[in-house]
């Protein structure tokens, strides 16, 4: 199953429409969390929102994640070792307050298991490719270990 | 005696950890090892997240953003009430607006405050992050290229 998610804050009809258009050409079924957008897809399964408790279960079953460039979804995909295609929101199209999702996407696209699409063609091409997931290591990333240690010291001396 | 690194004083510290739902919350969970020895209270904005993260007695705050004046006032009052009730030694947030308000309230009541700007802010510090500069004792970015001599400080990242 391909899981499409656009986060909890803002609608993202452009991505949902594109997925609805591409879906008939894909071999996997598509399930989308479409938020409070106006567009109602016809070729894919959808729900406005997914209960926080069910989210990880659905995520676990997904083969690939397609998402806005929201950090929550990116971090969950890394944690669950799922390949993720991020599709950044554009401020010019009224999809977010600013273009920070474009910057996030650019920074993240070098990471294993993270792919970026900016339009229908990119997204379709990626979905028709066999995408590799993040590396299977269980080791805590070095930067996180450092930050946790730094915060721990600060809290203990507070 | 006061050197928390040697004894277990840290175990008695009261920490209030506040993050909006979504990415902010995921980042807080990834950092939770930093306060596992403290008496930590969590607060977020989406009901269900606490249960998903197996936190028994957290709090839900109303969400708001800088574009919503009245929602922001309501949110601030809830944050102030929570901080007065908890009396934390440390207030920590990974964003966004409700976390900022808890830092303001925490600072007013004498807590040490930590702002960790979201890793999503790659090109510049967020709006609430910029305001947090004035109330955060520890003002952090997760990107080395955004760190400056007068802050924010880079000390690592969740990724």
Domains and CATH numbers, chain A: 2-156 (3.40.50.2000)
Domain residue spans of chain B: 9-154
Sign of CA dihedral B75, A151, A144, B32: negative
Hunting for tokens 């066999």 — which residue is that? A130
What pLDDT does residue A138 have? 63
- Partner-chain residue, chosen from A52, A69, A155, that has the shortest CB–CB distance to B34: A155
- Partner-chain residue, chosen from A101, A111, A148, that has the shortest CB–CB distance to B34: A148
What pLDDT does residue B10 have? 44
Residue A146 touches chain B, beta carbons under 8 Å: yes
Residues 92-111 (B) with a CB less than 8 A from some CB of A: 92
What pLDDT does residue B145 have? 95
Which residues in chain A are contacts of B129 at CB distance < 8 A? none
What pLDDT does residue A128 have? 95
Q: Is residue A47's pLDDT more than 70?
A: yes
- Phi first, then psi: give them for residue B15, nearest 5 degrees: -115, 135
User: What residue of A is the nearest CA neighbor of B121?
Assistant: A100
Residue B58 touches chain A, beta carbons under 8 Å: no
User: What residue of B is the nearest CA neighbor of A53?
Assistant: B52
The CATH number assigned to the domain with range B9-154 reads 3.40.50.2000
What pLDDT does residue B7 have? 43
What's this model's pTM, rounded to 2 decimal places? Answer: 0.86
Cβ pair A152, A102 in contact under 8 A:
no
Cβ pair B32, A140 in contact under 8 A:
no
Q: What is the pLDDT of residues A56-76, one digit of tens each?
A: 899 999 999 999 999 989 999
Per-residue pLDDT of chain B (159 residues; tens, 9 = 90+): 444 443 454 457 999 999 999 899 999 999 999 998 999 999 999 989 999 999 998 999 999 987 889 999 999 999 999 999 999 999 999 999 999 999 999 999 999 999 999 999 999 999 999 999 999 999 999 999 999 999 999 999 998
Question: Which one, of B65, B76, B68, lies nearest residue B105 by Cα?
Answer: B76
Q: Give the Cβ contact number of residue A124 at 10 Å.
A: 17
CA distance A133 to A78: 8
ipTM: 0.92
Q: Give the Cβ contact number of residue A150 at 10 Å.
A: 18
Tokens of A72: 């929550």
What pLDDT does residue A135 have? 84
What pLDDT does residue B67 have? 83
Q: What is the pLDDT of residues A80-139, one digit of tens each?
A: 999 999 999 999 999 998 898 999 999 899 889 999 999 999 999 999 999 999 887 767
Which residues in chain A are contacts of B138 at CB distance < 8 A? 154
What pLDDT does residue B57 have? 85
């Amino acid at each position: 199953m391909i899981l499409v998610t656009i986060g909890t804050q803002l609608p993202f009809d452009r991505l949902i429409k594109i997925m609805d258009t591409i879906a008939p050409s894909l071999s996997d079924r598509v399930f989308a969390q479409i938020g409070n957008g106006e567009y109602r897809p016809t070729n894919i399964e959808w729900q406005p929102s997914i209960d926080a408790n069910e989210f990880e279960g659905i995520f676990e079953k997904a083969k690939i994640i397609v998402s806005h460039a929201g950090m929550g979804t990116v971090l969950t995909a890394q944690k669950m070792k799922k390949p993720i295609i991020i599709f950044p929101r554009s401020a010019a199209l009224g999809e977010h307050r600013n273009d920070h999702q474009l910057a996030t996407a650019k920074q993240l696209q070098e990471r294993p298991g993270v792919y970026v699409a900016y339009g229908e063609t990119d997204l379709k091409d990626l979905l028709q490719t066999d995408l590799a997931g993040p590396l299977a290591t269980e080791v805590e990333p070095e930067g996180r270990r450092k930050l946790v240690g730094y915060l721990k010291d600060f809290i203990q001396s507070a | 005696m006061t050197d928390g690194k040697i004894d277990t004083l840290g175990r008695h510290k009261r920490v209030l950890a506040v993050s909006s739902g979504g990415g902010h919350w995921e980042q807080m969970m990834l950092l939770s090892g930093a306060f596992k020895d403290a008496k930590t209270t969590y607060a977020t904005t989406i009901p269900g997240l606490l249960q998903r993260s197996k936190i028994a007695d957290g709090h839900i705050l109303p969400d708001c953003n800088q574009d919503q004046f009245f929602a922001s006032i309501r949110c601030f009052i809830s944050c102030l009430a929570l901080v007065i009730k908890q009396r934390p030694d440390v207030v920590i947030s990974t964003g966004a607006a409700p976390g900022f308000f808890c830092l303001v309230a925490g600072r007013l009541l004498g807590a040490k405050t930590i702002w960790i700007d979201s890793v999503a802010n790659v090109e510049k510090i967020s709006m609430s992050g910029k305001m947090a500069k004035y109330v955060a004792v520890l003002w952090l970015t997760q990107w080395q290229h955004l760190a400056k001599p007068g802050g924010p400080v880079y000390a690592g990242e969740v990724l």
